[in-house]
Chain A
Amino acid sequence: MRPVGVAGLGLLGAVVFVAAFGPVLWGDQATVVDTGNLLAGPSAQHWIGTDNLGRDLFARVLVAARLSILLALAATAISLVLGIVLGAAPVLVGRRTGRFITSAVNVLVAFPGLLLVLFFAVVFGVGARGAALAVGLAGAPAFARLCHTLVAAVSERDYIAAARIAGVSRIRILLRHVLPNIAEPLVVNATMAAGGVLLTFAGLSFLGLGVQAPDYDWGKLMQDGLNGIYVHPLAALGPGIAVVLAGLAFNLTGEAFAAAPGRVRPLGPARGPSVRTAPVPGAVLSVDDLRVTMPGPVHAVRGVTFTVGEGEAVGLVGESGSGKSVTALAVAGLLEPPVRVEANHLVVAGEEDHRRLGTSLAVVFQDPMTSFNPAHRVGPQLAEVSRFHQGMSRRTAFARAVDRLRAVRIREPERRARQYPFEFSGGMRQRAMIGMGLMGNPRLIVADEPTTALDVTVQRQVLELLAEVRRETGAALLLISHDVSVVTDVCDRVLVMYAGRVVEELPAGDLRARARHPYTRALVAAVPDLETDLDRPLAVIPGLPVDPMSAPAGCAFAPRCPLADDHCRAVAPPLLAGVACHKTAEVRV
C-alpha cells in the first residue's frame, strides 16, 4: 500500500479511537465548569482555551468526536441502504418500474446535496435526529446512481442470467449474486462519502440546524466559537481542524483502496550512445543500432540498423509486437520519456535533431479516425504546417491546404477544408493525412500501417495515392505493415522484424520466393493467395510471439522454429548478408 493509504488508515484509527474512548477519558474534564477561566485563551492547562462556562475546549473537541462520527456514520448508512435499494430497483421490481425509479433518481441527482439536506431539514425539523435523516436521505440519490451503474454492469453477466433462468428469487439474486460483486467499489465510495457527510454534518450544526445544546458535535463547537473569533480564534479553529482531520482520514483511506494500480518503475535517463557512428552517405534515413525501451522494462526494439536511400521505398513487416511501429515512431521522433530511445545515430534528411526537420519528414498514421483533432476543421489543421514552418499567412496557407486536398483527390476541396474531421469518411481522412504531409516538401514519408484501418477498396486507392505522391515528389517511403502483399506491391526493399530485431533484409521481389529466414518464409506462407487450396486449413505460424518483457538470449524465433537446435537457443544470430539465422544453409530456396 502506498504511504498515503498508510497515513489515511493511521489517521482513521486515531479518529476511531478518540470517538470510542473520548467520552470515557475526557468526559469529566469536558464538563468541569471553571468560573475563574471563562473564555480564556490557550494556556498550559487549557490547550485551546475555555468556553463561556470555563469548560476545557480541547477536551470538548475530543469528546465531540463520538457524536460527530456516529452521526456521520448513521447518515452514511441511511444513504447507502436507500441508495442500494433505489439503484438495484431494476433487479428488484422489474424493468418498467425500475426505469421509472432510475429517471426519478436522475432528476434528484441534479440537485446539489446541500439543497436536498436543507429541504429535508425543514421536513424533519431542527435537531440531531432530523439532521441525520436529512443528510442520509439527501445522499441517497448519488449512491443510487452509482449503485445503478454498478448493478447494470454486473447484471449483464452470464451467471446472473443463469440464476434468473433457474428461477432464483429477485431478492436472492441481489443479495447472493449482485451485491457481493459490487461490494468493493460501494465500500470505497461509502468510505469517501462518510468523510463528506462528516463535513456536511458539521456545516448543518454550524448553521444551527443540526445538533442542539446541551449536546455538541464539532459543528456546534465551531458555531459557538465563531462569535468570539476576534478574541479567541482557536475556539472556532480547533474543532474545525478536528473536522478536517477526520474528513481526511475517511477520504485518504477510501482513495487508498480505490487507486491501487501496480506502479511501473521508471527507467533511468538514456545513456549517451556508447559508440557514435556517421550516417551512411546519400541515405535520407540512416539508423544504427536503434534500441527502444519502455518502462517495465520492455525492450521493444533491440538494436536495429538500416538505411533508406533517396527516393527508395522500404517496407517494415512483422507481427504485432515485433517492434515495427515503435521503430517508425522512433524514426519520426515521436517517442517521449519515459520511453527511452538510444542509437549510435538516427539521422533523417541530414538532421539528427527532429525539431529542425521542418517539413522534410511527413508521417501518416494507422488510424485516420483518431489522428485528426476533432476540435478543429480539417483545412486549418493542414494549413497549420505551412503557417508554422513556412511562415505563410492564414489565407495563403489555407489556399495551399485546399490545393493539397485537391492533389490527394478529395472532391470539392474548398467545402471539405471547412468541415470537421467527423464529417470525413475514413479513406478521405487518410488521404487528407497524406495531404497534410504534402504541405511541405517531404524527403521521407513514414507511413505506419496506413491502410490497416481501411476497407480493401479504399486501401488500394490510398496505396496508389502514396505511389503517385512518390513519383511526383521523389520522396522516400518507410512503409510499416503486417500485410506482406501490400509491402511487396509498394516497396523496393523489405525489412522483416521479429521480437525487436531485423531478421531478414531482402528485395521486395524476393520476398515470396527467395526468403531465407524461417520466420519470413512462415510469414509469407501464412498469406493466402489465388492458388491457396481453400479445402485445407490456412497456414499459421505455430506458437506465440515472444513476450517482450523476457526476450531470450538466443534466437527469439527458436521456440517456434522447426529447424532450431540448442545453438539457436543459446546464441543470437547476427544479421549477416541480409539474414539473421544460423540455419540458412538448411533452408531450401
Chain B
Amino acid sequence: MKTPVTSRWPRFALRRAGRLLVSLWVLVTASFLMIHLVPGDPVRAALGPTAPADLVLAHKEELGLLDPLWQQYAAFLGRLFSGELGASISTRLPVGETIAQRLPATAELAVAAFLLSVAVAVPVGVVMAVITRRGRGRRAELAFTGTNVVIGAIPDFLLGVGLVYLLAVQTHVFPVAGREGPSSYVLPVLALAIGPAAVLSRIVRVEMLAVMEADYIRTARAKRLTNLRVYAVHALPNAVTATLTIGGLLLSSLVAGTVLVENVFAWPGLGSSIVTSIVAKDYPLVQGTVLVYGVGVLLINTLVDVVLALLDPRSAIGES
C-alpha cells in the first residue's frame, strides 16, 4: 500500500513539468514567429510609409531580421535566457523595463479580483445549493440562474463602463480612472470580479448539489449532525476540487481580462500598453508582453494542478 503513494509523486511531477516545458516552448516559438507571420514588411509597417529606407534597414539590422531564420531563432532564445527582451521601436526603452514597471499594477488587479470573486462565489454557491437542493426553492433557483446568465452575458469592460457611469459619473463615490489610492481600485476590481463570481458560484452550486447526493453525506446525516455541519464540514471540502479547477481557468482568463478593463479605467498596467503597442506595431514590446502574459497563465495552470494533486491525491494518478 505504501509503494504507489511514494512513486506516483515523482511521476506526476515529471509529467506536469514536461507539459509546462512543452507549453513554454510553444509560447516562446509562437511569440518569435509572430513578427515573421505579419504579412509584408513589419518594420516598414511600424515606421510608416514615409520613413527613409536606410532607417528601415537599420531597424531590421537591429532586430536581426536580415539573418537566416534559424539564426534569429537561436539568438532570440539566447537573449531570452539572459532575460533580454529587446528595445521598443517607438520609445527606444528596453522592453523588460517597461514590463517590470507595468506588471505589478496588472497583477494587483487580477489577484484582487480573483480573491473577491472566490470570496463571493463560494458562500453564494453553497447557500444556493442548500436552498435549491433536490428541486426545492424553484423560485430561488430561477432567480439565481436568471441573474447569473444575465451577469455572465455582460463582458467585464461593459461592466466597467456601467460602473463608471453609476458610481463615478453619477454619484462621484469612486474615481473615474487612474490608479491613485485604494478607492481607485474598487471599480476596476469590481468590473473584473463580477463576471467570474457569477460563473464560479454557478459551478460551486452544481458541485455542491452533486456532493450532497453522495452516500457519505447520507452517512453524515445518519450521525444526526446539524445541517450546517453536514454542509460545511462534509460536503464543501468535496466540492472544492472542481471549483478550484474552474477557479484556475478563471484566474488565467482574469489575467487576460485585465487588458480590456485597464483600457476602460486608464490603468497603467500591461493591458493598456499591449493595446497601444499593437496599434503602433511596436513588435518587440508586443512580443515581450505576450510572453509575460503567457508565462503567467502557464504558471497559474501548473500551480492549480499541483494544488489539486495535493488536495485530492487521486487526481495525480488519474490522468494519463
A interface residues, Cβ below 8 angstroms from B: 4, 103-104, 107-108, 110-115, 118-119, 121-123, 125-126, 195, 199-200, 202-203, 206-209, 222, 226, 229-230, 233, 236-237, 240, 243-244, 247-248, 251-252, 255, 264, 266, 295, 332, 334, 336-338, 354-355, 357-358, 363, 365, 367, 370-376, 384-385, 388-389, 422-423, 433, 436
Contact = CB atoms under 8 A, between A and B. Distances in A.
Contact of B155 (A108, A122, A203): A203
B112 interface: no
Interface string B232-268: 0110011000000000000011011101100110000
B293 A122 contact: no
Given A240-B161, A375-B237, A423-B1, 13 more contacts: A104-B26, A110-B301, A112-B256, A114-B259, A202-B155, A222-B158, A236-B161, A244-B150, A255-B149, A370-B214, A372-B216, A373-B216, A388-B223
A361 to B, nearest CB: 8
Considering the complex of A and B, which 10 residue pairs feature the smallest CB-CB distances, nearest first?
Answer: A375-B237, A114-B256, A112-B256, A370-B215, A363-B222, A373-B216, A112-B253, A199-B155, A371-B215, A123-B37
Contacts of B23: 107, 110
B234 A373 contact: yes
B255 A112 contact: yes
Interface string B187-207: 000000000000000000000
Q: In the complex, which of the residues A115, A363, A372, A423 has the most CB atoms of chain B within 10 Å of its own CB atom?
A: A115
Interface residues on B, range: 35 or more
A119 B229 CA distance: 48
Contacts of B274: 118
Contact of B136 (A200, A264, A337): A337
A112 B297 contact: yes
Interface string B38-58: 110000010000000000000
Given A112-B255, A203-B260, A244-B158, A388 B219 contact: no
A557 to B, nearest CB: 31
Contacts of B157: 203, 206
B234 to A, nearest CB: 5
Contact of B154 (A244, A363, A374, A436): A244
6 contacts: A208-B275, A264-B135, A337-B134, A372-B216, A373-B219, A373-B220
Contacts of B169: 229-230, 233
A248 to B, nearest CB: 5
B162 interface: yes
Interface in B275-301: 275, 278-279, 283, 286, 290, 293-294, 297-298, 301
B165 A237 contact: yes
A398 B45 CA distance: 73
Contacts of B170: 233
Given A107-B26, A122-B286, A244-B153, A354 B275 contact: no
Nearest to A366: B215
B22 interface: yes
B279 A208 contact: yes
Given A195-B153, A367-B215, A422 B314 contact: yes
A177 B306 CA distance: 40
A375 B161 contact: no
Nearest to A439: B223
B298 A332 contact: no
Nearest to B151: A244
B139 interface: no
A110 B304 CA distance: 12
A115 B297 CA distance: 10
B92 interface: no
Of A111, A121, A332, which is in contact with the most chain B CB atoms at under 10 Å from its CB? A111
Interface string B101-144: 00000000000000000000000000000000111101000000
Contacts of B138: 266
Nearest to A110: B301
